[in-house]
């Protein structure tokens, strides 16, 4: 037994550490640190899994890897390097993706707990879900620059990673993305949204929703290359030529629209193919990697069409989401970004400094797009070391089942540097970890319906709390207002829904839910579900209607269970409402 | 593969000039215990220039157990040599040397940073980070002979918008704006104008400017809202923008106080920083305000208004101020540094560190003495004193705990603390000076962050002691 550890750990804890079987996902910046601390803290049996191969940019912090390892599997090289120092350890290395089907609930159940060292949002979300499903504790960490955090996710006790929308992911106004981009990120966001719109599942909250007639894309014969090619060209011309020519009136004030319209540059496919200029002032002679260079403009025109066709031919299209590790999606977004940049700047003419100042709007290389789009944040060895070591410290508490001591550990560049806070309770409406949720979609005409109508309807479901969201997801001033009809609320009560005009959209969605202190909360918790009413605009509807396509069936099912209880009356009233308002 | 690829990610944090400083830096590590080596690892990976490792001991079994950088087949070899070889293997851009000696003369060479690993060290000529791990507790102490930071990189950027004290042209512009017109006009008045007008109105009504937090964020906010009375909510975006930016109106006021706190030592007036500071003092004397920085935020207004504000009004003033300031620097500072200085003028920071000697004799008293980390600090001082007397760490033996308790009482009197909980004394006796890898890793990570701050002269380093409590995984900073 290790002498240092025996002084500090009780024999029981040491035994538990020694006998535990753990899974480490990700052998990157944090992963390397984790392996180092774990193997020096008595852990013996572990499985490490990583999909990636070693890149040059990893070497500034991932110390298990050397120059000669570039291109090799992180998991396999990681294991080899660890075993050099600790030849007696029991390590299984897997070079694979956690999305593979074989890593199912059963796979996760064999481990005592799981340590997450991922930097990929999608994979992290997936891992979080798998841990919830298999009822395994997840010890998570993340860093960016000098800041970071480490925390434990325990099902039903503490918040999961999806309980709160990720912080620091900035939202952009719809008009900025659709009509007046002024920074590279706006064009990249346009590109990513376009990718999700074309190749992803139907999503009404996409900022580009309604931009294209998607039926053509979805229903076309994917084996007909000629057809796909012509579809790609048509889409190209619509997005980068016709739409731009048509102008952007309706999204911004007329004067601004005119100012911007004067300085836009629609470009058709044919014109684009003839433009072979390289739009950059940077000396590119020293850049070796092709993906780091700004290419001749024609390259992006070709790339758009090429990747458009290729992605449509990929099995599974229709369920894709932009992923920084999927090079087709990265290249498609890179092409779109630069075409869009051309539309709005061309060659940095001096108009509004907000549009073109300095490096604000510029053409981007494929790798730059990947970095911006994938929200790749600067990672350094020191912060990773702190995060990983705290993960191991939290792991000890997990093994000791010392649940009350678990903390959310914030790593900060200044102040106290490490600040533990209590882990928050799970968010009741979380899609991933809370007891079941039920969403009802209510459609009504915002131009003819007053707010009060919706309030009364919501109240009849026992909902008495509302939020109003813009299409970009931003919450506006009316957040968490309790619904009651009194003098102060009278004015707003009689207001047409369309008058809740907010900065980015004339028709903001409203979400009605249960107020924290209301009797309704208890009621829905007893149901093991939470009800939310999402109100959306439909111009062609006269009377408010609840859509059947959403989880109405589930909602009814859930409400039926109420019969057993004293809430019979409430249940019947609600059933009646549901029936009354359904299509 | 070029070095640029490898350092791409970190350069986004401290910039190419920060990276250059890092690559030219010489770091001295005194002692090869885990925490210092962990710190050095986090500096070698991002490409520190040159490392010197000094240690008198040879590798033993316990080194292999808790020090990642000492492989198992090196027993009996010099610790300094083994660690250096391992570290350099991780990054071939880094060079270094090792010495197996007891007493190393640090004064012979220049070092950008000395890492005193598990030892107290009172040299005052160089930047210094002292590190100690003890069981589940860790301590880090920073010292810098001169710490003047231009690029403090605060999380919230402050803008010098001259709302409180507009220059002549700006004042004329502000005064020329009337709050009368159609909805379209009103909803496009830039928020800086709104803030200025609201300040004037506030002053007229109350006879003074808002100064306390509640005056600024309650009363003053009401004045701003009164300016858009009658305007429908959807047209008041710029007024709410003004409310969100209330603090920007007072930046130049707050700034006055911070300039006064910067001390000028006459004997070091060759230093660029002091040329800049004395130029700044003169500038403020002549112009009544610091030179105007270029940073100008986006705001809701018509394009032509924005262009006029940014380029014509503020832009002209920026250039004029720069030239006047440049003249005051008398060619002692290059233009690039002057521009950097002006851009950061709102956030300059100077720290005067207490020396280790001062701390050892009499640490500053702390108000928050219930803080667990403070208790651990007193205990660390106590075990160190125990070690100095007995040449070993206290154990759980009764004689040891008694002797330690006496030392603890003495230390408590020194800092005016009544007593500390017995449980903590018992807990620290359990550690017997054990060095845990996990604690070394956390502390090493934090130490290397501070090292980067000291070497690149960016961000604000801590002043001056950090105590990490691994039992609760919390940290606190004290100025001892």
Q: Residue B455 CB: number of other CB atoms within 10 A?
A: 22
Whether residue B121 is predicted with pLDDT greater than 90 in this model: the reply is no
Helix, strand or coil for residue B135? strand
Q: Which strand (E) or helix (H) includes residue A281?
A: none
Q: Which of A287, A365, A417 to mutate to test the interface with B (most CBs of B within 10 A)?
A: A417
Distance CA A391, CA A139 (A): 6
The CATH class given to the A3-167+378-422 domain equals alpha beta
Give residue limits of the domains in chain B. 3-145+435-478, 168-350, 363-431
Domain definitions of chain A by residue range: 3-167+378-422, 174-373, 436-581
Strand partners, B51: B27, B96
Q: Which helix (H) or strand (E) holds B342?
A: helix B335-343
Mean pLDDT of A110-124: 87
Average pLDDT, chain B: 88
Helix, strand or coil, per DSSP, at residue A509: strand
d(CA B330, CA B459): 28
DSSP string of A450-497, one letter each residue: BHHHHHHHHHHTT--EEEEE-TT--B-TTTTEEP--SHHHHHHHTSBG
* A301, A303, A309, A312: CA torsion to nearest 10: -120
Give B234→chain A minimum CA distance, Å. 6
Q: DSSP readout, A356-395?
A: HSTTSS----HHHHHHHHTT-----HHHHHHHHHHHHHHH
Contacts of A260 (CB under 8 A, 6+ apart): A179, A180, A248, A252, A344, A352, A355
B33-50: average pLDDT = 94
From the number of C-beta atoms within 10 Å of its C-beta (0-12, 13-18, 19+), residue B64 rates as: middle
CATH architecture type of domain B3-145+435-478: 3-Layer(aba) Sandwich (3.40)
Contact across the interface for A390 and B442, Cβ inside 8 Å: yes
ipTM higher than 0.90? no
Q: Regarding predicted confidence, which is higher, A477 or B3? A: B3
Q: Lowest mean pLDDT: which of A532-546, B1-15, B85-99, B111-125?
A: B1-15
* Closest A-chain CA to B237: A503
Cβ-defined contact of B436 to A61 (cutoff 8 Å): no
In chain A, the residue whose alpha carbon lies closest to the alpha carbon of B155 is A413
Residues A275, A516: Cα–Cα separation, whole Å: 59
For A115, counting Cβ atoms within 10 Å of its Cβ (0-12 exposed, 13-18 middle, 19+ buried), the class is buried
Chain B contact set for A508 (CB, 8 A) = none
Dig out the tokens for A80 from the structure. 């080899």
Q: Single out the residue of A299, A323, A294 nearest to residue A311, CA to CA.
A: A323
Beta strands in B223-342 (DSSP E): none
Task: Provide the pLDDT confidence category of residue A474 given band limits of 50, 70 and 90.
Answer: very low
pLDDT band for position B5 (50/70/90)? low
Other Cβ atoms less than 10 A from the Cβ of A83: the count is 14
Write the residue in A145, A383, A394 that is nearest to B445 by C-beta: A383
pLDDT, tens digit, 9 for 90 and up, residues A308-320: 999 988 887 877 8
Residue bearing tokens 């923008």 = B241
Q: Which of residues 310-339 of B touch A (CB under 8 A)?
A: 310-311
* Distance from C-alpha of A205 to C-alpha of A88, rounded to nearest angstrom: 53
Extract the tokens encoding A41: 């803290």
Q: What distance in Å separates residue B275's CA from the closest CA in chain A?
A: 28
**pLDDT above 70: residue B321:** yes
Question: Exposed (0-12), middle (13-18) or buried (19+): which is B18, by Cβ within 10 Å?
Answer: buried
A241-245, A358-362, B115-119, range with greatest mean pLDDT: B115-119
Q: Which of these ranges, A39-43, A552-556, B227-231, has the smallest mean pLDDT?
A: A552-556
A8: nearest CB among B90, B136, B452: B136
Hey, how many other C-beta atoms are within 10 angstroms of the C-beta on A167? 6
The pLDDT of residue A462 is 64
* pLDDT computed for residue A98 by the predictor: 86
Asked if B198 and B146 count as a contact pair (C-beta separation under 8 A), the reply is no
Looking at CATH, the fold of the domain delimited by A174-373 is given as: Arc Repressor Mutant, subunit A (1.10.10)
Q: Give me the residues of A, 132-161, that contact B with CB < 8 A.
A: 145-146
Q: What angle do CA B387, B388, B394 make, to 5 degrees?
A: 15
* A127-151 pLDDT per residue, tens: 887 887 788 899 999 888 888 989 9
Structure tokens belonging to residue A287: 């850049």
Q: Which residues partner with A421 through β-bridges?
A: A408
Q: Which residue in A4, A9, A7 sits closest to A397, CA to CA?
A: A9
Within 8 A of A378 by CB-CB distance, chain B residues are 9-10, 12-13
Residues 338-397 of B with CB under 8 A from A: none
Residue A56 at interface with chain B, using a CB cutoff of 8 Å: yes
Look at residue A517 and tell me whether its pLDDT is greater than 60. Answer: no
Other CB atoms within 10 Å distance of the CB of residue A59: 24
Sheet holding A509-513, edge to edge: A481-482, A465-469, A509-513, A529-537, A436-444, A545-546
Phi, psi at residue B293, to the nearest 5°?
A: -85, 165
Tokens, residue B173: 């512009």
d(CA B230, CA B187): 12
Task: Give the pLDDT score at A561.
Answer: 53
* pLDDT tens-place string over residues A186-245: 888 889 889 988 888 777 667 787 777 777 777 778 788 888 888 899 999 988 888 887
Nearest to A110, CA basis, from A83, A84, A134: A134
Residues 6+ apart with CB under 8 A from A334: A191, A300, A303, A364, A365, A366, A369, A370
Q: pLDDT tens digits, residue range A519-551?
A: 445 555 555 555 667 777 777 877 777 665 444
CA A414 to chain CA centroid, Å, is 28
Q: Which comes out higher in pLDDT, residue B54 or A119?
A: B54
pLDDT digits 0-9 by tens, B190-222: 999 999 999 999 999 988 888 888 888 888 999
Residue A318 bridge partners (DSSP) = none
CATH of A436-581, one of 3.40.50.300, 3.40.50.720, 3.10.290.20, 3.10.129.10: 3.10.290.20
Q: Find which of A339-348, B180-189, B385-394 is predicted with most confidence, using mean pLDDT.
A: B385-394
Chain A residues in contact with B92 (beta carbon < 8 A): 67
Q: Where would I find the H helices in A73-224?
A: 74-85, 105-109, 121-133, 174-178, 184-199, 214-219
Of residues B108 and A375, the one with the higher pLDDT is B108
| pLDDT value, residue A252 | 54
Tally C-beta pairs within 8 A across A and B.
Answer: 185
B245-304 confidence digits (pLDDT tens): 888 888 766 666 666 656 555 545 557 888 888 888 889 889 888 899 888 887 888 777
- Spatial CA neighbour of B136 closest among B349, B370, B441: B441
Residues B6/B19, Cβ–Cβ less than 8 Å: no
Strands B147-149 and B349-351: antiparallel
For β-strands B113-117 and B128-134, DSSP reports them as parallel
| Rounded distance between C-alpha atoms, residue A484 and residue A143, angstroms | 44
Give the pLDDT band (50/70/90) at residue B19: very high
Count CA within 13 A, CB hemisphere, residue B198.
32
For residue A349, is pLDDT > 50? no
Q: Report DSSP state, residue A165.
A: P
What average pLDDT score do residues A86-105 get? Answer: 88
What are the backbone angles phi and psi of residue B80, rounded to the nearest 5°? Answer: -60, -40
How confident is the model at residue A167, as a pLDDT? 42
User: Using an 8 Å Cβ cutoff, are B113 and B142 in contact?
Assistant: no
Task: Report whether the peptide linkage leading into residue B464 is cis, meaning its omega lies within 30 degrees of zero.
Answer: yes
Q: What is the mean pLDDT of chain A?
A: 75
Q: What is the pLDDT of residues A560-579, one digit of tens each?
A: 554 444 445 555 555 566 66
**Higher local confidence (pLDDT), B391 or A171:** B391
Report the C-alpha gap between A346 and A331 in whole angstroms. 20
Is the minimum CB–CB distance between A349 and chain B shorter than 8 Å?
A: no
d(CA A367, CA A338): 13
CA distance B386 to B410: 12
Q: How high is the pLDDT of residue B90?
A: 87
Nearest to A418 among B42, B441, B468 (CB): B468
Task: Give the CA count within 13 Å in the CB-facing half-sphere of A230.
Answer: 6
A140 Cβ contact list (under 8 Å, min separation 6): A116, A124, A128, A150, A151, A152, A153, A161, A391
Q: How many other C-beta atoms are found inside a 10 Å radius of the C-beta of residue B476? A: 22
Residue B352 has pLDDT above 50, yes or no: yes
Q: Stretch B155-184: mean pLDDT, rounded?
A: 87
Residue B138, strand partner residues: B133, B468
The residue behind tokens 């010099």 is B78
Contacts of A84 in chain B (CB under 8 A): 71
pLDDT of residue A518: 47
| pLDDT of res. A510 | 66
């Amino acid at each position: 037994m290790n002498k240092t550890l025996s002084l500090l750990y009780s024999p029981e804890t040491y035994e538990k550490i020694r006998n535990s079987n753990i899974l480490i996902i990700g052998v990157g910046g944090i992963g390397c640190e984790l392996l180092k601390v774990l193997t020096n803290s008595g852990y013996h049996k572990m499985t490490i899994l990583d999909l990636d191969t070693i890149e040059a940019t990893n070497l500034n912090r991932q110390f298990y890897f050397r120059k000669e390892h570039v291109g090799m599997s992180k998991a396999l090289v990681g294991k080899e390097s660890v075993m050099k120092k600790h030849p007696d350890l029991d390590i299984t290395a897997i070079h694979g993706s956690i999305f593979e089907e074989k890593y199912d609930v059963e796979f996760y159940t064999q481990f005592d707990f799981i340590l997450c060292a991922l930097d990929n949002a999608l994979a992290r979300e997936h891992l979080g879900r798998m841990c919830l499903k298999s009822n395994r504790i997840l010890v998570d960490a993340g860093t960016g620059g000098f800041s970071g955090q480490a925390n434990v996710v325990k099902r039903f006790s503490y918040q999961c990673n999806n309980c709160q929308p990720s912080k620091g992911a900035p939202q952009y106004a719809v008009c900025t993305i659709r009509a007046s981009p002024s920074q590279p990120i706006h064009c990249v966001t346009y590109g990513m949204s376009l990718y999700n719109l074309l190749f992803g599942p139907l999503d009404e909250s996409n900022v580009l929703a309604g931009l294209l007639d998607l039926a053509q894309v979805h229903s076309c014969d994917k084996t007909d290359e000629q057809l796909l090619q012509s579809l790609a060209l048509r889409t190209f011309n619509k997005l980068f030529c016709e739409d731009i020519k048509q102008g952007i009136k309706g999204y911004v004030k007329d004067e601004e629209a005119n100012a911007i319209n004067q300085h836009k540059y629609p470009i058709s496919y044919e014109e684009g193919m003839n433009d072979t200029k390289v739009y950059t002032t940077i000396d590119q002679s020293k850049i070796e990697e092709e993906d780091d260079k700004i290419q001749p403009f024609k390259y992006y025109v070709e790339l758009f069409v090429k990747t458009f066709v290729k992605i449509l031919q990929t099995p599974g299209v229709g369920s894709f989401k932009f992923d920084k590790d999927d090079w087709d999606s990265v290249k498609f977004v890179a092409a779109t970004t630069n075409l869009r940049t051309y539309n709005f700047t061309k060659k940095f003419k001096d108009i509004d400094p907000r549009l073109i100042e300095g490096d604000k709007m510029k053409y981007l290389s494929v790798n730059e797009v990947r970095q911006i789009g994938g929200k790749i944040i600067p990672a350094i060895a020191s912060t990773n070391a702190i995060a990983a070591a705290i993960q191991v410290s939290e792991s000890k508490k997990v093994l000791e089942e010392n649940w009350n001591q678990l903390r959310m550990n914030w790593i900060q560049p200044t102040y106290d540097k490490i600040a533990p806070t209590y882990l928050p309770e799970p968010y009741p409406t979380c899609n991933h970890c809370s007891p079941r949720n039920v969403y009802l979609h209510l459609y009504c005409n915002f131009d003819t319906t007053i707010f009060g109508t919706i309030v009364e309807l919501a109240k009849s479901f026992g909902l008495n709390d509302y939020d109003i969201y813009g299409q970009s997801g931003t919450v506006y001033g009316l957040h968490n207002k309790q619904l009651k009809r009194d003098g102060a609320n009278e004015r707003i009560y009689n207001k047409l829904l369309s008058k809740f005009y907010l900065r980015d959209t004339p028709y903001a969605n409203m979400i009605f839910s249960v107020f924290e202190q209301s009797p309704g909360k208890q009621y829905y918790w007893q149901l093991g579900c939470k009800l939310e009413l999402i109100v959306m605009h439909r111009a062609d509807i006269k009377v408010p209607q609840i859509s059947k396509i959403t989880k109405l069936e589930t909602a009814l099912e859930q409400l039926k269970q109420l019969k057993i209880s004293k809430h019979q009356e409430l249940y019947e009233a609600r059933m009646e409402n549901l029936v009354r308002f359904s299509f | 593969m070029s070095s640029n690829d490898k350092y791409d990610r970190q350069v986004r944090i401290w910039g190419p000039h920060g990276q250059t400083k890092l690559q030219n830096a010489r770091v001295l590590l005194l002692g090869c215990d885990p925490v210092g080596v962990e710190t050095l690892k986090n500096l070698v990976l991002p490409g520190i220039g040159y490392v010197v490792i000094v240690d008198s001991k040879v590798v033993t079994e316990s080194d292999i157990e808790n020090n990642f950088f000492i492989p198992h087949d090196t027993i009996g070899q010099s610790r300094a040599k083994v660690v250096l070889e391992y570290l350099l293997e991780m990054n071939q851009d880094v060079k270094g040397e090792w010495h197996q000696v007891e007493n190393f003369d640090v004064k012979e060479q220049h070092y950008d940073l000395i890492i005193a690993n598990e030892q107290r060290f009172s040299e005052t000529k160089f930047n210094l980070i002292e590190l100690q791990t003890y069981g589940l507790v860790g301590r880090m102490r920073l010292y810098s002979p001169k710490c003047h930071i231009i690029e403090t990189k605060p999380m919230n950027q402050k803008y010098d918008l001259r709302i409180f004290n507009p220059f002549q042209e700006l004042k004329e512009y502000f005064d020329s704006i009337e709050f009368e017109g159609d909805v379209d006009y009103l909803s496009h008045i830039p928020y800086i104008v709104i803030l200025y007008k609201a300040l004037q109105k506030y002053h007229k009504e109350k006879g003074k400017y808002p100064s306390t937090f509640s005056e600024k964020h309650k009363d003053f906010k009401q004045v701003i809202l009164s300016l858009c009375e009658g305007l429908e909510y959807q047209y008041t975006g710029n007024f709410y923008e003004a409310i969100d930016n209330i603090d920007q109106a007072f930046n130049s006021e707050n700034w006055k106080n911070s300039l006064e706190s910067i001390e000028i030592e006459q004997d070091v007036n060759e230093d660029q920083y002091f040329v800049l500071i004395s130029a700044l003092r003169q500038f403020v004397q002549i112009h009544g305000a610091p030179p105007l920085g270029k940073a100008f935020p986006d705001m809701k207004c018509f394009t032509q208004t924005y262009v006029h504000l940014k380029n014509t009004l503020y832009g002209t003033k920026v250039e004029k101020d720069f030239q006047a300031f440049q003249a005051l620097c008398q060619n002692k500072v290059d233009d690039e540094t002057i521009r950097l200085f002006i851009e950061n003028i709102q956030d300059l920071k100077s720290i005067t560190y207490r020396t280790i000697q001062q701390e050892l004799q009499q640490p500053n008293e702390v108000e928050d003495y219930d803080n667990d980390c403070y208790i651990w600090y007193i205990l660390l001082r106590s075990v160190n004193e125990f070690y100095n007397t007995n040449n070993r760490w206290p154990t759980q033996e009764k004689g040891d705990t008694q002797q330690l308790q006496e030392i603890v009482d003495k230390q408590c009197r020194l800092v005016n603390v009544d007593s500390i909980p017995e449980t903590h004394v018992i807990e620290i006796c359990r550690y017997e000076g054990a060095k845990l890898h996990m604690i070394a890793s956390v502390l090493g990570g934090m130490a290397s962050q501070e090292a980067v701050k000291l070497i690149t002269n960016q961000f604000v380093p801590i002043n001056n002691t950090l105590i990490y409590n691994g039992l609760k995984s919390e940290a606190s900073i004290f100025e001892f």
